[in-house]
Each structure stands twice: as structure tokens, then as C-alpha cells.
Amino acid sequence: MTPAKLTPLAIYKITPKTNCGQCSLPSCLAFSAAVVAGSKKFKDCPHFHAEDYKHLELHQTPADTQEATRAEFIEKLEGKVAHLDFQDIAPILGCQVKHGQLEIMSLGKRFSVSQEGALNSECHIIPWVQAPILSYITHQTHMGITGNWISFRELKGGIDWQGLFTSRCEQPLCALADQNPELLADLIDLFMGTETDTQKYEADIGLILHPLPHIPLLICYQKADEDLESELTMFFDECCGQNLHIKSIYTLCAGLVKMFEQIALQHS
């Protein structure tokens, strides 16, 4: 097994599958996803045998290797951008061309991409924004917004990433909403979002954000009620699976949650 092949499912297969919570996560699958993400170690599960996690730890990708891989990925994307005709692709992507650069909106903020693939903005440029934006404009297939909302697992390749998406995106954001009742409403104002009817989803609030022009995201949140725990689910327009690779969609959402955590911390 190589680092690239280490998956939450591979780890989950050798967990006790008891969901005991002793690792501080709600399930063995969430723990498995956290190990792949790097936020947990095999030894954080008291039921792992030493030979199990020592063997699997050999296949974890070190942080410096992850950074090198990310940098290599960005460089490849920049190379693809160099061969694009901005005038041709701008209307397809929902972008504009100004002064020879492709202008793209992300959460109400304006970003520009040069013909060399350099990303510029008045905002601070961080990797989780850079990679998805470049991936979006270089993606080979593209379709317009359909208005048909589907779950993450229904996106192409979503099932393989579902465990990681749940533990790193939906669960943390649900906890944030529990702790900060006004957070989701604040996001509407901060990022030019819109509130939508949630009767179909049996939720208390539904928030639509546009991380990228044709990558709309619907966040539905149901508050805790008596014996029922709170619940948060992210939905995506059906076009998202055609406009961005599933890994980039995950990266985008995980980055959003990290940013929302910082916003909640500042507000508190």
C-alpha cells in the first residue's frame, strides 16, 4: 500500500467498528477519515493493536510531502491556464475578462487570474481558494446551474469522499452553528448569500452561497429539539459534479468551514 492509496475505508476495515467515542469522534468511520486527514493518529484509538497502526503509519503522507504535492498540483494547473483563451471561456464559466485577466467571483469577493495562472485579490490568497479556482477554470466539462440540489455522495466520486466530507465539513459546521446561533445568518451578509425556503428539507434555516460562479452550495441546518440532535447537511447543484473534480469540491468546503471557524472565533 502506498500513501496515495491510504483511504478512510482501508482504515475503517481494521477498526473495532464499535463507535465507542474514546477517540473523541462520534464514529469509527469519522476516526478513519481523521487519520487520513492528519488530525488523528492510529494510536488515538485505544483498540488498535500496536502492529496495526505501526504498519499503517508507514503509509501516511508526511506534512512536507503534502505541501510538495500541493505545490506541484498548483504548478500543473497554472500550466493549463497558460493555454486557455479567456475570451472564449469567460461567458461559459460565468466570469469576465478585464485588462487581459480573467475575473471570477468567490463568495462575493473578486479574484483575477493572469494568463500565467497567477491569482490576485484584495483578499488574502490561501491554498484552499487557489486550487479550487484554478481547477474550476481549467475543468474540461462545464454546465450551467440546474436548480436541482443533490447531496455530496450523489456527486461523481462523492461516495469515496463521503466519510472525510462528513467529519471535516458537515459535522464541524453543525457544531459551529450549535455554538453560534447567529453564525449562518451572518454568513448571508458577509458573503452575499441568500436564505431559501427549507420546508422540503425540514430545516430551520437554508443558506445558499456561491463559492464559485457555477458551484452553488446549499447549507441546511436543523436545531436540536428535545430528544433530537441538531443536524446540518450540505447540498450541491447537480452541475457541480460537472464543473469541478470531487477532491476540489471537498477542498473548497473544508476550507470554507475553517474560515467560518475563524469568523465565529472573532465574533465571540
CB-based contacts of 215, cutoff 8 Å, min separation 6: 136, 236, 237, 240, 243, 244, 249, 252
How do residues 152-169 score in pLDDT, each as one tens digit? 999 999 999 998 899 889
pLDDT at 119 (0 to 100): 92
CB atoms near residue 11 (< 10 Å): 26
Whether 155 maps to a domain, the answer reads yes
Residues 56 and 69 in one domain: no
Q: Give the 3-state DSSP-derived string for 41-110, with helices as H, strands as E and coil as C.
A: CHHHCCCCCHHHHHHHHCCCCCHHHHHHHHHHHHHHHHHHHCCCCHHHHHHHHCCEEECCEEEEEECCEE
Residues 94 and 41 in one domain: no
The total domain count for the chain is 3
How do residues 183-200 score in pLDDT, each as one tens digit? 999 999 999 999 998 888
End position of a domain, from candidates 138, 162, 191: 138
pLDDT at 1 (0 to 100): 35
Residue 14 dihedral angles phi and psi, to the nearest 5° = -110, 10
Residues 155 and 200 in one domain: yes
pLDDT at 239 (0 to 100): 97
Whether 81 maps to a domain, the answer reads yes
Residues 166 and 249 in one domain: yes
Q: By C-alpha distance, which of 258, 249, 248 is closest to 39?
A: 258
Q: By C-alpha distance, which of 133, 104, 92 is closest to 248?
A: 133
Query: Which CATH number do you get for residue 16?
Result: 1.10.15.40
Whether 144 maps to a domain, the answer reads no
pLDDT at 268 (0 to 100): 59
The 8-class DSSP code of residue 35 comes to H
Residues 51 and 78 in one domain: no
Question: Measured in whole angstroms, how far is the alpha carbon of residue 54 from the centre of its chain?
Answer: 29
The 8-class DSSP code of residue 253 comes to H
Is residue 65 within 8 Å of residue 3, measured between CB atoms? yes
Residues 229 and 187 in one domain: yes
Low-confidence ranges of the chain (pLDDT < 50): 1-4
Is residue 39 within 8 Å of residue 171, measured between CB atoms? no
Whether 143 maps to a domain, the answer reads no
Where in the chain does DSSP place strands (E)? 96-98, 101-106, 109-113, 119-121, 149-151, 194-195, 205-212, 215-222, 231-237
pLDDT at 3 (0 to 100): 41
Q: Is 4 in a helix, a strand, or coil? A: helix
Domain range enclosing 126: 64-138
pLDDT at 122 (0 to 100): 80
Q: By C-alpha distance, which of 247, 259, 260 is closest to 69?
A: 247
